[in-house]
Structure 1
Amino acid sequence: AGMLPLILKLNSANSLHSKSLTSDQAITSSVKDALRLGCVAVGFTIYPGSAKCFDMMEEAREIIAEAKSCGLAVVLWSYPRGEGISKEGETAVDVIAYAAHIAALLGANIIKVKLPTNYLEREKIKTENIESLSKRIEYIKKS
């Protein structure tokens, strides 16, 4: 690779996938591919709350361990969705905080979540702590 650090995304969804099916992604690349391409990191998406979330978490855990053993950093996209989460809840500050927490537990070096809204799906937190975007981001980082 050249001077631009590369991240290889190891799984992918597609826009032709039926919305009625469970949120999931196919594994399309490997840590070996990332090394062959001279990447500095790999990326992987999980969907906390989906019917496939535990399978995705186990896949991520294995990939993270392999990538780190090869000296690669790991970026984890953690996007909540599923039957137990409302559409508005997919960006709720409490749900996003939990999605970030799961990604940290799995060992991600960099965690990508959607920007949180001040909507609360489940948790009871002080609403004055989440009025501004900066306060919500601060709350997510502490999770």
Structure 2
Amino acid sequence: MSAITGNGSEKIAHLGFVQSVIRSHEAPALMAKAAAIVVVLFVYAAYLFAPPSGTVRLSLLALIGAFLVFVLWLVDGHYNSIRASYVALYDEVRRAENTDFSLDASRFKTTDQTSKLLISQPALLYIGSIVAIAALSLTA
């Protein structure tokens, strides 16, 4: 697309669209974190209240829980990666004199960015949960 010189109100409207896309990707990432917390709490509750005779089932439950937390970790990283791409698009539109008014942020998405988000400080909570659940499954 060719760049279009827009007046200030068109640029502000475009920034508003980009900002709404950024906000729409925050909710699924937050829901993935909440679901991971629920899975971890469920596994711990099962270990606390289950009879000692069901250790094989508890080990299987813990492994399934660890797998679910791993999947939710990937989902969270995916949505945070998309969100980071749109934040970069927002910054570019904000600084640019001319803009093409596109919402395509694919040129800002890199695999390096995704891998950094998967091992960022908030993602360490997922990793810690997976390790804790796996340790529980080994002790059962």
Larger Rg: 2
**Which structure shows the bigger proportion of residues in helix conformation?**
2
**Which structure shows the bigger proportion of residues in strand conformation?**
1
Query: Is TM (by shorter chain) over 0.5?
Result: no
TM-score normalized by the length of structure 2: 0.29
Report which structure shows greater RCO (CA 8 Å, sep ≥6). Answer: 2
